Chains A and B, each alone.
Chain A
Amino acid sequence: MVVLAASILTKTGKVLVSRQFVDMPRIRIEGLLAAFPKLVGTGKQHTYVETENVRYVYQPIEALYLILVTNKQSNILEDLDTLRLLAKVVPEYAPSLDEEGTGEMAFEIIFAFDECLSLGNKENLTVAQVRQYCEMESHEEKLHKLVLQSKMNEAKDVMKRKATEIEKSKIEKGKFQTGAYSSISGPRRSESGFGDINISSSGSGFGSGSGFGLNTESIESFSSKSKDRPAASAKAPPKGLGMQLGKKTQKTNQFLESLKAEGEVIIEDVQPSAVQSKSVLPPTDPITVTIEEKLNIIVQKNGGLRNFDLQGTLSLQILNQDDGFIQLQIENRDMPGLSFKTHPNINKDLFNREQIIGLKDPNRPFPTGQNDVGLMKWRVQKMDESSLPLTVNCWPSVSGNETYVNIEYEASDLFDLQNVVISVPLPALRDAPTVNQIDGEWRYDARNSSLEWSILLIDHSNRSGSMEFVVPPADQSAFFPISIKFAASSTYSDVKVAGINSLKGANVPKYSQRVQLMTESYQVV
């Protein structure tokens, strides 16, 4: 009832792979397999050989023999079944059914043999099941990893909290000593302090990137650098840091450490768990202006722009009603095809004349609360190809029995793009494609069968780049539509809030503005 060994031999008798399921000395199995080629007669119409002690059940596959060594009492019907299964499994793993191909994948074949025969006992499996068992894709493991990751993040948060507490107590001490501030102002500031630190725990790379763009001018304890050049810090976030923060604790720690070493005061939001649940950052300034442009682009694969649509919004969030009596001074770049639409409550006249956004009724404040209030929209259409922030060229070419796909991107000088992801659909593949050359990183998504090429940041240092990968022969159209995602911290229209005028004559409240350009959908078809 037991298979002693499953082996693959060449026609000349060289043993390529053999897996034994029963304890036997090496000399024995080698002897058995060496005797086999001599026992195989030609011109026979059956495929088993019996010797005094064992039975070989075999099947020629191209230049090889697939052999089961069994004892003579073994059930031939079962063994033939097993042999048939193995004969189907082997070509799945061996790239070519010859000495080289099998030798290369010897271990993978042994893995599969182990699945087909558990310690020599037959298993009723299909090829697909064997494949599944060998791939070891486990849903549970993924879940487990996610849980692990979130636990790690939590632990990190705790760590940071502790760190801030220590820092805080230090500051308190320092302040108390210098006496520059009243002790009451401390907690309030710390509440509104440093949104960016939370970001690392939110897990969203993008969020963290833009988080750095947010500047809080009012906090004295912020780094001197960002205090000097807030605009610069908004436009050029630290390269790659955003992604890494989310990824590795060590980096975060290092970052924190280095910040501390530079004499920074790290203040942490006291309730990080509430922050975590939201993807959008809570405003920490009394007034936050969000300027967003979304792109909808469809480009033909052989050039030509099929669709270009840019939609911009300016929205305002005011936390306290007291700060609601304001007007916004807007600046923008002059460009053709740009037209603004304001909210019906906005004084259009004022806007058209002086580019100031104010309510029609100056006695009413802007709505307040946690929600963004859209004040203005704009659209840009009918741009030409040259103004695309990023163009992607894909050149699949068949050579021999492989398809080489070359992709290159070219970014315009206008923007520094962050978190660029170019995902190329692939034909159904068995293995991940071979990537010969790449600027950036790649990932193969087996489920969606696509290759994702990600570049953290495209700035003046890498305005163009390329990658090449190889897949088995496929139709050219299989690699389209390519979809592209990116974000940038400057916009086409360059709409900005130049200043805020308070209508109540009181001092101007602090405000921050968030500017971003992002793709809603960008496809090369």
Chain B
Amino acid sequence: MEKPCTLLVHFDKGTPAMANEIKEALEGSDVAAKVDAMKRAIMLLLNGETLPQLFITIVRYVLPSEDHTVQKLLLFYLEIIDKTDARGRVLPEMILICQNLLNNLQHANEYIRGVTLRFLCRISEPEILEPLIPSVLTNLEHRHPFIRRNALLAISSIYRLPNGEQLLPDAPELVEKALSSEQDASARRNAFLMLCNCSQDRAVAYLLSNADRVPEWPDLLQMAMVDLIRKVCRANRPDKGRHIKIIISLLNSPSTAVVYECAGALVSLSSAPTAVRAAANTYCQLLSSQSDNNVRLIILDRLNELRKSHREVMSEVVMDVLRALSSPNPDVRRKVLDIVLDLVSTKNVDEVVLFLKKEVVKTQAAGESDKDAGGEYRQMLVQAIHACTIKFPEVAGSVVHVLMDFLGDSNVASAIDVVIFVREIIETNPKLRVSMIQRLIDTFYQIRAARVCSCALWILGEYSLSLSEVEAAISTIKQCVGELPFYSATEDVEPTAESTKQPHAVNSSVTTSSRRPVVLADGTYATQSAASEAAGVAPSVLPGSLSSIPNLRSLILSGDFFLAAVVASTLTKLVLRLEEVQPAQTETNKACSAALLVMVSMLQFGQSGFAPHPIDDDSYDRIVLCVRLLCNTGDEVRKVWLESCRQSFAKMLAEKQFRETEELRAKAQISHAQPDDLIDFYHLKSRKGMSQLELEDEVHDDLKRATGEFTKDADDASRLNRILQLTGFSDPVYAEAYVTVHHYDIVLDVTIINRTKETLQNLCLELATMGDLKLVDRPQNYTLAPESSRQIKANIKVSSTETGVIFGNIVYETSNVMERNVVVLNDIHIDIMDYISPATCADVTFRNMWAEFEWENKVAISTVIQDEKEFLEHIIKSTNMKCLTPPSALEGDCGFLAANLYAKSVFGEDALVNISVEKQADGKLSGYIRIRSKTQGIALSLGDKITLKQKGGDH
């Protein structure tokens, strides 16, 4: 492993400190200057300078200093300098510092002793430690707790060194003795930890002999104890019962940290329902007693883990978990709902839904003060209820009516959720249809948002079946559309065509306000209604007058012709249905003509100049189609309108459900055992608890992963693929590198070969970077014998996802020529693809990000690939992104295709790509690929990558 780094200090390059200045100050007698010089020396060292000449100065002038700060800084200095030579042997001059350390260990000042002992924990060279050990041991009995604490730490870390047992053969006995007489909490903890790490038996013995007193122990010690129990129980199963008893006795400890730790330990020790239940209850208690969001979120994570392994137990505590919804933090609420939704079962669904319903009602009561948060929360709740009812349709009846009150919610998102929910329930729950339609008709006038309106209209059109329902629906729509025509600048007698000819005149003639007959320029007589005026003046006036104007009318007047088309088709459907259920032909005809009037008025309004913008072609066509249909119905058309529509919706729902089950199945598949997994034999081991190996890995790897010790080795074959040749074969120095890309860093392993017959001196690999890369170490000089080779490692830090380039050259001197020779290296390009990985996000999030991100890179498609889908595959493959557009939406052959791709970088940056491609008449593909990201780097690099790769064909 690489040399560990113990401290980092920001080094301002603006103030270069010269080694000479530092030396002078160190030699002086001014303490302040000395402290300052030491600081600068340490900073230089941290910055990669080696400063070998300083060592002797420091030994001579700094070691004897009496000043405490100087001594402490000296320890830092000793901590970071190289204490061994290239072959790992301790440098001979290190013996010089031993005496000083020894003095410090016997210093009268207890703090000097303490910090020196602490420093020893970071020393791993037995040669340095050996002479100090007697003093360390004497410090164990010092009366000051500060010293004892650190002495115990030092003993622990010395004992754990590779040869520690030889250095300190009787350490466990000594520590055990110290532990039994120790009073200081922290020192006891350190002693106990030492025993845990070095002599578990003794630790266990101590624990068991003090088992009764454990609840009175200080919390620090309790924590160490829990840790020990966790470890011990892996090896020593028979004793588990006693240990668990101790842990359970601690579950009521006053220290929440201990309680938390105990709950975690309990779960890892036993999978017996009682234990898990106790742990889950403890977590729930903490959840309600801790107000810190961090704690809550992490406890929820723990509960989530429990949920995965112990569903049955967890479903018992669902209601306790739900109580955490009282936290105002949306993240907490979301997590709570996620956990709860997964645990909902037939047993508790009623309770859960009832609770959710109450919460929904509460958000309504909360009032205007926290409208935004309330709206968001309501949306979450609605979605949660929705999910519950999909699983357990029988509960729908109890909630749907409450939810329908929120159709008119000012928070559009939650209203949409509600209406989609209603749509699904009405299809899947035929029993509820009648009451829901009734309710919808009642609340329809409250709906304000266009999208909610259109959906509600569709529901009305599809599910109004009986005569009374159809009639009520038609009249509601008519009411909401309001008085016709939309604008009444029409003449009593003149045909509509004429009035459309002169909208301009009408517009200009409007001078006074509502409901006043005016004389037009051509002498015609006209009235101007308030609504049309409002529409004519500015759509922005509309919201103010919302309450007075029916919702559909105001929306249409503001220019939403898509909604108008929906109104038209809904009316058409309703009239067609009316024909089926209404025995009296005259009534049907009446309704039909009324519907036609509405449609025609909408068309007329759309083409007049009063609308904010003229009607779009699609909506126009759609309304005209409806008009035609009503005038000329046929069986086939009727079937299409009344049945196929519903069928396709049912199909869509079925597909959605299918996809969900499919995903679940896929998930279940993943958790199946791998062929080479360990098999736990039911009869051969106690089934309560995880297997030993599993547990061991869990705790240990976590720390190892965190410190970066744990990196998976790529297989050698792929490693060889990444070798880059840096210089030519005929260059005096041949160099090649293989590049390993880790998460946050790049390691270049450069092999340098001297191809000449001369010794190369001061050979140096100089690297420079472009982009968001930074060299960590400063280059070192090497001497290379004739025809020998050397491996040089260079670490490069990466701080964002961006294409980077590493330049470099090799500089060296030969013995006879004093000038320096330079060999320029090939550039090394760092590929962005190493940093991004496919990810998923919800459609809505994607759109929000799309709107929000400021960097867009637009790449025109130019490719030899002829098929749209093949092109998409190609892009996905070459960019390592995930296609968010479902495959069903990409099916079929229509000559064009649009898809969204998404990926996330290791730094958490989002990369969004949209592909819009169309097949030209000549068979070529054309269109654009748009990349959006928050940072310029990703947009540019990804764009470059795509431009480079999109050609395709030749791979």
Known interface pairs A20-B7, A107-B76, A121-B190. Does A138 touch B702 (Cβ–Cβ under 8 Å)? no
Which residues on the B side are within 8 Å of A27 (C-beta)? 2, 708, 744-745, 747, 776, 795, 797
Q: Is the CB of B294 within 8 A of A80?
A: yes
Q: Using Cβ atoms and an 8 Å threshold, which residues of chain A touch B449? A: none
Taking the complex as formed, is A275 at the interface, i.e. its CB lies under 8 A from any CB of chain B?
no
How many angstroms between the C-alpha atoms of A118 and B112 in the bound complex? 15
List CB contacts (< 8 Å) of A14-47 with chain B.
14-20, 22-35, 38-39, 44-47
Lowest 3 CB-CB distances: which A-B pairs, in order?
A: A31-B744, A144-B108, A26-B5
CB distance B3 to A121 under 8 Å? no
Residues of A within 8 A of B264 (CB): 73
| B257 at the binding interface (Cβ < 8 Å) | yes
Q: Is there a chain A Cβ closer than 8 Å to B909's Cβ?
A: yes
B744 CB contacts on chain A under 8 angstroms: 27-28, 30-32, 34-35
Bound form: Cα–Cα A39–B906 in Å: 10
Query: A77: nearest residue on chain B (CB-CB)?
Result: B257
Q: Check if B781 is an interface residue, CB within 8 A of chain A.
A: no
The DSSP consensus for interface residues of chain B is helix
Q: In chain B, residues 209-267, which have Cβ atoms closer than 8 Å to a Cβ of chain A?
A: 218-220, 223-224, 227, 256-257, 260-261, 264
Interface check A54, CB cutoff 8 A: yes
Residues of B within 8 A of A28 (CB): 707-708, 744-745
Q: Which residue of B lies closest to A16 (CB)?
A: B10
Stretch at the interface among B146-154, B339-347, B498-506, B841-849: B146-154
Tell me if B277 counts as interface (CB < 8 A to partner A).
no
A138 engages B110 (CB within 8 Å): yes
Q: What residues of chain B lie closer than 8 Å to A436, measured between beta carbons? A: none
Q: Give the number of residues in B that approach A within 8 Å (Cβ atoms).
A: 82
Tell me, yes or no, whether B297 is within 8 Å of chain A by CB.
Answer: yes
25 contacts between A and B (CB under 8 A): A18-B8, A20-B6, A23-B1, A25-B2, A27-B2, A31-B743, A45-B330, A46-B329, A47-B294, A53-B706, A53-B708, A54-B706, A71-B703, A73-B702, A73-B703, A78-B223, A78-B257, A103-B9, A106-B9, A111-B72, A114-B118, A133-B114, A136-B68, A141-B109, A144-B108
Residue A143, interface by CB 8 Å: yes
Given A48-B294, A53-B705, A122-B220, is A29 in contact with B186 using a C-beta cutoff of 8 Å? no
Q: Which of A22, A25, A34, A124 contacts B186 (CB 8 A)?
A: A124
Residues facing A in B88-140 (CB within 8 A) are 107-112, 114-115, 118, 121
Q: Knowing A17-B10, A118-B186 touch, does A136 contact B42 (C-beta < 8 A)?
A: no
- Provided the pairs A24-B4, A38-B909, A45-B329 are in contact, do residues A145 and B293 lie with their beta carbons within 8 angstroms? no
Are B108 and A138 interface neighbours, CB within 8 A?
yes
List of A residues within 8 angstroms of B189 by Cβ: 121
Check B108 against A143 for contact (C-beta < 8 Å): yes
Q: B329 — which chain A residues lie within 8 A by C-beta?
A: 45-46
A315–chain B nearest beta-carbon distance, Å:
43
Q: Which residue of B lies closest to A2 (CB)?
A: B703
Across-interface contacts of B290 in A (CB, < 8 A): 77
CB-based nearest A residue for B124: A23
Expressed in whole angstroms, the Cα–Cα distance for A15 and B8 within the complex equals 8
Q: Per-residue CB proximity of B899-943 to A under 8 Å, as 1/0?
A: 000000011110000000000000000000000000000000000
Pick from B107, B702, B706 the residue with the most CB of A within 10 Å: B706
CA distance A145 to B2 in the complex (A): 43
Contact of B4 among A25, A46, A57 (CB under 8 A): A25
Chain B stretch 705-724: residues in CB contact (< 8 A) with chain A: 705-709
Which residues of A, 235-260, contact B by the 8 Å Cβ criterion?
Answer: none
CB of B483 within 8 A of chain A?
Answer: no
Which of chain B's residues has its CB closest to A40's CB? Answer: B908
Which residues of the other chain, B, contact A47 by a CB distance below 8 angstroms?
A: 293-294
A46 CB to nearest chain B CB (Å)? 4
Look across to chain B and name the residue whose beta carbon is closest to the beta carbon of A25. B2
The residue on A at minimum CB distance from B297 is: A46
Judge whether A45 and B293 touch: CB under 8 Å: yes
When C-beta atoms are compared, the residue in chain A nearest to B12 turns out to be A103
Q: Do A140 and B9 touch (CB < 8 A)?
A: no
Q: Does A385 contact B (CB under 8 A)?
A: no
| Inter-subunit contact B706/A72 (CB<8 Å) | yes
Contacts of B114 in A (CB 8 A): 133
Cβ-defined contact, B797 with A81, below 8 A: no
Q: Which residue of B lies closest to A138 (CB)?
A: B109
CB distance from B902 to the nearest CB of A (A): 17
- The total of Cβ contacts below 8 Å across the A-B interface reads 213
Q: What distance in Å separates the Cβ of B851 from its nearest Cβ neighbour in chain A? A: 17
What would 7 more interface pairs be, CB under 8 Å, given A29-B8, A107-B39? Answer: A23-B4, A44-B331, A52-B705, A53-B706, A54-B705, A57-B294, A72-B702
Chain A CB within 8 A of B690 CB: no
- Distance between Cα atoms of A28 and B744 in the complex (Å): 8
Report yes or no: B331 in contact with A136, Cβ–Cβ below 8 A. no
Q: Return chain A residues, CB-CB under 8 Å to B42.
A: 107
Whether B907 contacts A39 by the Cβ 8 Å rule is yes
- Interface residue ranges, A against B (CB under 8 Å): 1-2, 4, 7, 13-20, 22-35, 38-39, 44-48, 52-54, 57, 69-73, 75-78, 80-81, 99, 103, 106-107, 110-111, 114, 118-119, 121-124, 133, 136, 138, 140-141, 143-145
Rounded to whole angstroms, the CA-CA distance of A120 and B227 in the bound complex is 15
User: Among residues 875 to 912 in chain B, which have CB atoms less than 8 Å away from a CB atom of chain A?
Assistant: 906-909
Closest Cβ of chain A to B240, distance in Å, is: 20
Chain A residues whose CB sits within 8 angstroms of the CB of B190 once the complex forms:
118, 121
The answer to whether B2 and A81 have CB atoms under 8 Å apart is: no
CB-CB under 8 A from A44, the residues of chain B are 331
A10 vs B701: C-alpha distance in the bound complex, in angstroms? 31
Interface string of B794-823 (1 = CB under 8 A from A): 010111100000000000000000000000
Partner pick for A106 among B10, B112, B776, CB 8 A cutoff? B10
Given contacts A111-B72, A136-B112, is CB(A48)–CB(B297) below 8 Å? yes
The answer on a CB contact under 8 Å between B707 and A133 is: no
Determine if B8 and A107 form an interchain contact, defined as CB atoms under 8 angstroms apart: no
Shortest Cβ distance from residue A50 to the other chain B in the assembled complex, whole angstroms: 8
Contact of B121 among A26, A110, A119 (CB under 8 A): A119
Counting CB contacts under 8 A, is B954 at the interface?
Answer: no
Q: Which residue of chain A lies nearest to B261 when distances are taken between CB atoms in the complex? A: A75
Q: CA A81 – CA B699 in complex, angstroms? A: 22
A342 to chain B minimum Cβ distance, whole angstroms, is 55
From the candidates B10, B73, B149, B260, name the one contacting A118 in the complex (CB within 8 A). B149
Contact A110–B7 (Cβ < 8 Å): yes
CB of B864 closer than 8 Å to a CB of A: no
A residues within 8 A CB of B295? 76-77, 80
Contacts of A17 in B (CB 8 A): 7-10
**Known contacts A46-B329, A71-B706, A78-B257: A30-B10 contact under CB 8 Å:** no
Q: What B residues does A29 contact at CB under 8 A?
A: 5, 8
A124 near B185: Cβ-Cβ < 8 Å? yes
Q: B798 to nearest A CB, angstroms?
A: 8
Shortest beta-carbon distance, A88 to chain B, in Å? Answer: 17
B223's contact among A38, A70, A75, A138, by CB below 8 Å, is which? A75
Chain A residues, Cβ within 8 Å of B798: 31, 34
Check: B193 CB closer than 8 A to any chain A CB: yes
A110, B4: Cα distance in complex, Å:
17
Contact A38 B9, beta carbon cutoff 8 Å: no
Closest to A29 in B: B5
Whether A20 and B5, one on each chain, are in contact in the complex, defined by CB atoms closer than 8 angstroms, is yes
- Residues from chain B with Cβ under 8 Å of A31 in the complex: 708, 742-745, 797-798
A119/B118 contact (C-beta < 8 A), A22-B707, A27-B776, A106-B10 known? yes
Question: Given the complex of chains A and B, what is the CA–CA distance between A44 and B334 in angstroms?
Answer: 13
Q: Which of B7, B220, B256, B742 contacts A124 (CB 8 A)?
A: B220
Which chain A residue has the least Cβ–Cβ distance from B11?
Answer: A103
A78 to B705: give the CA distance in the assembly, Å.
21
How far apart are the CA atoms of A230 and B315 in the complex, in Å?
Answer: 105
* Any A CB within 8 A of the CB of B292: yes
What are the residues of chain B within 8 A of A26 when measuring CB–CB?
2-3, 5, 8, 776, 795
Contacts of B149 in A (CB 8 A): 118
Chain A residues in 8 Å Cβ range of B17: none
